[in-house]
Amino acid sequence: MMRETAVDLARRIGTGDLSAHEVVSAALADIAARDGQIGAFLSVREQALEEAARVDAARAAGEPLPPLAGVPVALKDNLNLTGTRTTCASRALENYISPYTATAVQRLRAAGAIVVGKTNMDEFAMGSSTENSAFQLTRNPWDLSRVPGGSSGGSAAAVAAGFVPLALGSDTGGSVRQPAGFTGTLGFKPTYGRVSRYGLVAFASSLDQIGPFARSTRDLATVLDAISGHDPLDATSLEATARFAEALGDGVRGLRFAYVRESLGEANTPGVQAALERVRAVLEARGASFSEVSLPSLEYGIATYYLIATPEASSNLARYDGMVYSHRALLTSEADVNAVMSASRAESFGPEVRRRILMGTYALSSGYYDAYYSKAMRVRQLIARDFERAFADFDVLVTPTSPYPAFRFGEKSDDPVAMYQSDVDTVSLNLAGLPGLSIPAGFETLEGRELPVGVQLIAPALTDERLIAVSQAFEEATSGEFLRVAPQVQTVG
């Protein structure tokens, strides 16, 4: 049952063919049976059953049901939902209970979705493998010896494993798209400002966007229609009407695509190259044209991203001082406030978060500000301008989501720069504020295991809906071949 799309589940619940209660209890039972091997969830919500019963009661009373009525969904653990623990996979927030709900979450629930749990992530969303969680590893459902990507690895794995048809993550430099690519799911990073950030725990505020994971383009469009739109509680949120579902049938005839030259070449594995070729062949057969375009400043994407993301993080994470929010160290009564704050922070943060705070503080410090932060802000403009120039001639740009499929645990965790490089194709969209979608477009067999490969589609700001049209065209032409649930994990005992 959980293999079905969200839209199909909601339809069957609407006709009475299934009850929301049985769907949600099946999801919870499946998580209880199989998540021990995957580790996607940090917490599950038993209240989901009562909420499902309320959907069934509304149906019985003849009330009209919203589009995702009774559909189980998962939330990355940096999204607030009143009464849930929102840990950001950090010791700092291990016992933090949300006193309010994020706007995107409130809208998703207003659309009828039922939150069954909160998912694992890299601590404070800093990482690309979910190995930086303070609590547990999350395994890639396609190959349990490999990472699911990150930082939204738990949400990606939950959808890939078939626990839920939809999940929300957050994307600051690739954290929705890269794990989507690694797990064979769709992962969407909206135009900056299309989805409210209110209630998303901030990492780098000028880059963060909430984005969904799904296994069908129609589901993706449905969730995007639900969560996007202006929110007075987020001053950076934009006025723009969401028309995602309307775009499903638009097709790609006449659309001008271009590969981004800087993302091609031998950095990519053969499976990634084959997926790029497949996207071209499939879309050309549907009337699209393909070309190639150069964006020279993309070479500076990773450096620029880290010089902007870490200063913002060092500032955003200053609030976790043990006084109001986070874990407080137990010191003797003589300890002064500075000692308590610094001990609390030392006990709270893992090595990657410390590294980011140190880097960010350094880049902002007097004497280095001009050399690092302010220079990065100027390069950010150059990157945005390169995209604008490319979009004068093309409608959609195409790159790999990552240069390779999922890597093994430990393969990059000792080498921060190698880990950072895995976002080489995704960070520039956050810097420019553009929408991006990772679509599963192939498989690569490594050491006898079939691993999913993602291709990234990029559109101009505020034309997010175009990516839905492309994804739907690709999904139809390939009969959903690349949107399969990961092969069943054996349950132990």
In the complex with ligand GLN, the residue whose CB is nearer, 237 or 430, is 430
Q: Which stretch binds ligand GLN (CB under 6 A): 119-127, 244-252, 341-349, 380-388?
A: 119-127
Instruction: Figure out which of the listed residues 40, 75, 116, 126 binds ligand GLN, where binding follows CB under 6 A.
Output: 126
Q: How far is the CB of 453 from ligand GLN (least distance, A)?
A: 19
Q: CA 421: distance to chain centroid?
A: 18
- 206 in Cβ contact with 431 (< 8 Å): no
Residue 436 in the binding site for ligand GLN (CB under 6 A):
no
Instruction: Figure out which of the listed residues 112, 154, 165, 174 binds ligand GLN, where binding follows CB under 6 A.
Output: 174
Phi, psi (deg, nearest 5) at residue 41: -100, 140
In the complex with ligand GLN, the residue whose CB is nearer, 262 or 423, is 423
Residue 151 in the binding site for ligand GLN (CB under 6 A):
yes
Q: Which of 98, 129, 133, 175 is catalytic?
A: 175
Give which of 114, 133, 137 is closest to 46, Cα–Cα.
114
Residues 369-428 that bind ligand GLN (CB under 6 A): 423
- 42 in Cβ contact with 74 (< 8 Å): no
Q: How far is the CB of 416 from ligand GLN (least distance, A)?
A: 9
Residue 125 in the binding site for ligand GLN (CB under 6 A):
yes
Burial letters 335-372, b for 16+ CB under 10 A, else e = eeeeebbebbbeebbbebbeebbebbbbbbeeeeeeeb
Residue 101 in the binding site for ligand GLN (CB under 6 A):
no
SS3 for 3?
Answer: coil
In the complex with ligand GLN, the residue whose CB is nearer, 431 or 469, is 431
Instruction: Figure out which of the listed residues 214, 309, 437, 469 binds ligand GLN, where binding follows CB under 6 A.
Output: 309
Residues 463-482 that bind ligand GLN (CB under 6 A): none
| Measured CA distances, 485 to 187, 224, 437 (Å) | 15, 21, 19
Q: How far is the CB of 327 from ligand GLN (least distance, A)?
A: 22
Q: Which stretch binds ligand GLN (CB under 6 A): 22-30, 125-133, 256-264, 464-472?
A: 125-133
Residue 128 in the binding site for ligand GLN (CB under 6 A):
yes
Neighbours of 417 (CB within 10 A): 9
- 437 in Cβ contact with 467 (< 8 Å): yes
In the complex with ligand GLN, the residue whose CB is nearer, 151 or 399, is 151
Instruction: Figure out which of the listed residues 77, 123, 171, 312 binds ligand GLN, where binding follows CB under 6 A.
Output: 171
Residue 314 in the binding site for ligand GLN (CB under 6 A):
no
Q: How far is the CB of 110 from ligand GLN (least distance, A)?
A: 26
Q: Which residues contact 336 (CB under 8 A, 6 or more apart)?
A: none
Q: How far is the CB of 488 from ligand GLN (least distance, A)?
A: 30
In the complex with ligand GLN, the residue whose CB is nearer, 171 or 219, is 171
Taking the C-alpha atoms of residue 5 and residue 10, their distance in angstroms, rounded to an integer, is: 9
Residue 312 in the binding site for ligand GLN (CB under 6 A):
no
Taking the C-alpha atoms of residue 91 and residue 73, their distance in angstroms, rounded to an integer, is: 25
Taking the C-alpha atoms of residue 139 and residue 367, their distance in angstroms, rounded to an integer, is: 43
Closest residue (Cβ) to ligand GLN? 175
- 444 in Cβ contact with 172 (< 8 Å): no
Structure tokens that stand for 390 in this block: 């490319």
237 tagged catalytic: no
Residue 173 in the binding site for ligand GLN (CB under 6 A):
yes
76 tagged catalytic: yes
Q: Please provide the size of the chain in residues.
A: 493
Burial letters 41-52, b for 16+ CB under 10 A, else e = bbebbeebbebb
Q: How far is the CB of 203 from ligand GLN (least distance, A)?
A: 6
Give which of 211, 151, 154 is closest to 186, Cα–Cα.
211
Residue 147 in the binding site for ligand GLN (CB under 6 A):
no
Which residues contact ligand GLN (rule: CB under 6 A)? 125-128, 151, 171-175, 203, 309, 423
* Catalytic site positions: 76, 151, 175
